[in-house]
Structure 1
Amino acid sequence: MSLDGVLMADNSPLILSFGSVNIDLTVGVETLPKAGETQHAGSYTVGLGGKGANQAAAAARLCRNHPIRVALAGRTGTDSFATLARDTLTTFGVECSPLLEDREHATGIALIHVDKRGENCITVVGGANQAVSETDIRVASPLLKTTHVLLLQLECPLPAVLAAAQVAHAHGGLVILDPAPAPEGDLPEELWQNTDIVTPNETETERLTGIRPETPEAAARAAHSLRNKGAKAALIKMGGRGTYWQDAKGEGFIPPFPVNPIDTVAAGDCFNAGLAVALTLNYSLAQAVRFASACGALATTRKGAADAAPTWEEVQNILA
């Protein structure tokens, strides 16, 4: 499938996120805690998280005025957190039919500290996410075979992520991989070969390539390295420095949007969701990266994970 735009086979193209579902427990602190330090926070929030759920929710919010379906495949437990996650996803407009209930594992949770600059540290208890297996692939297979864009992350077991990529790629779907959390070693060659677009942030880029993308020139070298591994295109998310993209046809750099960040937790997930939506709407890759960058920037201006996702109108306003 061309990176110049996902071909719309019918009036209801599908974006499928295959990945993690968490409930996030978030506290705001002055500074991130050091080892052995106890801090007091004035309040906390409980909300939907997990990179799979975040990307699905953000895509669904953007698609409210477009004939695009968004679904999520993965697992929750059968606890109260599972009910909260499913209810919240449904409110966003996400189809949850391929989201399995696991009676043996609890719903995943994330414990998040966010400091006054918007930086964060996160501890994740994977729970049911770590039980995702071939069973989930079989359940999601009808959607994997018909999806226009598949959003993948690395918060579920790697064999399942690879199997999902292989099924979608073999049936013409566009596979977007967010390599987070990036492994200590490289990813399997088979996953690279079934990835159309890889979207690492600065830390993930350095771990996968050995190059810290602090300038567009360094990002270009890193993107070239990622494409040599097998990815068709590489998008380097450089945080407040902007976004660099590269594929076989060209390259480009999107400067950062002028926003005042307060929470960076959801920026990467909203970026990938925006990228999927823009490509489904037949944007060129360059246009899609700019749209995605706007989504990521807007997500930093509010607190939370899925709740930070911008609307279509908000993105259009910042792009104007």
Structure 2
Amino acid sequence: MSDRHPQILSFGSVNIDITARAERIPHPGETVHAESYATGLGGKGANQAAAAARLGQGCGLRVGMAGRTGIDQFGALARTLLTPFGVDLSALREDSAHPTGVALITVDSKAENIITVAGGANMALDLTDIDAHRALIETASTLLLQLEIPLDITIAAAETARRANTLVILDPAPAPAQGLPKALWQALDVVTPNETETHLLTGIFPESQNEAAQAALKLQELGATHALVKMGARGVYYRSGSEEGFVAPYKVKAIDTVAAGDCFNGGLATALSLGKPFAEAVRYAAASGALATTRLGAAESAPSWQEVITLVETGKSD
């Protein structure tokens, strides 16, 4: 890694996504013929790094990715696909004992999806990865975390960041049925669940602003300083300290919701790293997520910083 450390570091999963597009998602035991399929970059860690890096190219921010791939063809492909985004891959380790993670995705005609993930090398991360990347975590302004690597390593990364006053943004996905351990709540700053994850963490399914407000308050009571409840096409509710607010959904034509949440978090990290006030940063994050739904794919659906600015300022995408 160069002396110019990344200002945003994503510490997490790197996958190759194999995405099939079909009229509908099959029922258990049923075979449905897909209209097409594609192979691309995925993993919530890689998606968030790619999104932040594409945004960062437009505003001067450096972004790095810490994690593991195998030494297989999928690992080489992941690195090849991450490189054009401008992500610093010096902290992406090669694991000779485990294959690169893969995700099997089906997307239907309504842009809904189901995903099956085989974690591979992602699940082999251990404390040696924390030791190897400690300086990067401590010098970053923002650390992006997800839950597609071992939970104890996510906690260790968050605790390392907290001691260094690095802002910790956690995407609690996939949310464990038993909730998050207290140690993780104590080490994070911002938590960004979607509706399903909000329900698992708080017992509240946010179908309205009022329910989202209750859930956001509960997330703060659990330990988050800043709580964002992502309600998809219904907008975003947030609480930051005692401040709260709602960002209405941007009007875009959604064709694929894969990785929209990752682009949201990439946009949030970018805006906060630029010093935007929290309420304003949420608008940039929501615009990033909305724009991602207008394009096919995961990481490749990430928008540019100028596209986000245009949508925030005008309410319209190009």
Q: How far does residue 11 in structure 1 lie from its aligned partner after superposition?
A: 9.0
Selected match of 1:25 from 15, 18, 21: 18
What do residues 216-262 of structure 1 show as CA deviations (whole Å, max 9, x unaligned)?
A: 11011111111111110100000000000002130000000111111
Q: How far does residue 318 in structure 1 lie from its aligned partner after superposition?
A: 1.3
> Is residue 2:267 matched to residue 1:274?
yes
**Distance (whole Å) between structure 2 residues aligned to residue 139 and residue 72 of structure 1:** 13
**Distance (whole Å) between structure 2 residues aligned to residue 13 and residue 72 of structure 1:** 9
Q: Determine the structure 2 residue equivalent to 1:112.
A: 105
Q: Determine the structure 1 residue equivalent to 2:189.
A: 196
**Distance (whole Å) between structure 2 residues aligned to residue 92 and residue 11 of structure 1:** 17
**Distance (whole Å) between structure 2 residues aligned to residue 221 and residue 57 of structure 1:** 32
Instruction: For structure 2, list consecutive stretches of 5 or more residues without a partner in the other structure.
Output: none
Q: How far does residue 79 in structure 1 lie from its aligned partner after superposition?
A: 0.3
Selected match of 2:223 from 225, 230, 239: 230
Selected match of 1:146 from 122, 139, 144: 139
Q: Determine the structure 2 residue equivalent to 1:220.
A: 213
Equivalent pairs counted in the alignment come to 311
| Correspondence list, 1:54-69, <5 A | 54-69=47-62
Q: Determine the structure 2 residue equivalent to 1:181.
A: 174
**Distance (whole Å) between structure 1 residues aligned to residue 285 and residue 248 of structure 2:** 12
**Distance (whole Å) between structure 1 residues aligned to residue 306 and residue 139 of structure 2:** 28
Instruction: For structure 1, list consecutive stretches of 5 or more residues without a partner in the other structure.
Output: 1-9
Q: How far does residue 51 in structure 1 lie from its aligned partner after superposition?
A: 0.0
With over 3 angstroms needed to count, the CA separation of the structure-2 counterparts of 1:309 and 1:104, relative to structure 1, is same
**Distance (whole Å) between structure 2 residues aligned to residue 232 and residue 190 of structure 1:** 14
Selected match of 1:303 from 296, 313, 318: 296
- The letter for the 1-side match of 2:233 is G
- The letter for the 2-side match of 1:99 is L
- The letter for the 2-side match of 1:51 is K
- The letter for the 2-side match of 1:78 is I
**Distance (whole Å) between structure 2 residues aligned to residue 186 and residue 109 of structure 1:** 25
**Distance (whole Å) between structure 1 residues aligned to residue 23 and residue 142 of structure 2:** 39
| Secondary structure at 2:261 match in 1 | helix
**Distance (whole Å) between structure 2 residues aligned to residue 96 and residue 12 of structure 1:** 12
**Distance (whole Å) between structure 1 residues aligned to residue 276 and residue 145 of structure 2:** 20
| Secondary structure at 1:75 match in 2 | strand
Percent of aligned positions that are identical: 59
**Distance (whole Å) between structure 1 residues aligned to residue 4 and residue 151 of structure 2:** 33
Q: How far does residue 13 in structure 1 lie from its aligned partner after superposition?
A: 5.9
> Is residue 2:38 matched to residue 1:38?
no
Selected match of 1:263 from 250, 256, 263: 256
| Secondary structure at 2:96 match in 1 | coil
* Alpha-carbon contact 1:18-1:151 (below 8 Å) kept: yes
| Secondary structure at 2:139 match in 1 | coil
What do residues 70-90 of structure 1 show as CA deviations (whole Å, max 9, x unaligned)?
A: 001110000011011011111
TM-score (norm 1): 0.95
What do residues 27-48 of structure 1 show as CA deviations (whole Å, max 9, x unaligned)?
A: 1010111011111112211100
Question: Which stretch shows the higher mean deviation, 287-296 or 35-44?
Answer: 35-44
Q: Determine the structure 2 residue equivalent to 1:165.
A: 158
| Secondary structure at 1:163 match in 2 | helix
- The letter for the 2-side match of 1:27 is A
Moved over 2 A (4+): 10-13
Q: Determine the structure 2 residue equivalent to 1:254.
A: 247
What do residues 89-138 of structure 1 show as CA deviations (whole Å, max 9, x unaligned)?
A: 11110011111110010000000000011000001010000101101111
Instruction: Flag the structure with more relative contact order, 1 or 2, with Cα contacts below 8 A and sequence separation at least 6.
Output: 1
Q: How far does residue 162 in structure 1 lie from its aligned partner after superposition?
A: 0.3
* Alpha-carbon contact 1:12-1:67 (below 8 Å) kept: no
With over 3 angstroms needed to count, the CA separation of the structure-2 counterparts of 1:33 and 1:102, relative to structure 1, is same
TM-score (norm 2): 0.96
- The letter for the 1-side match of 2:187 is N
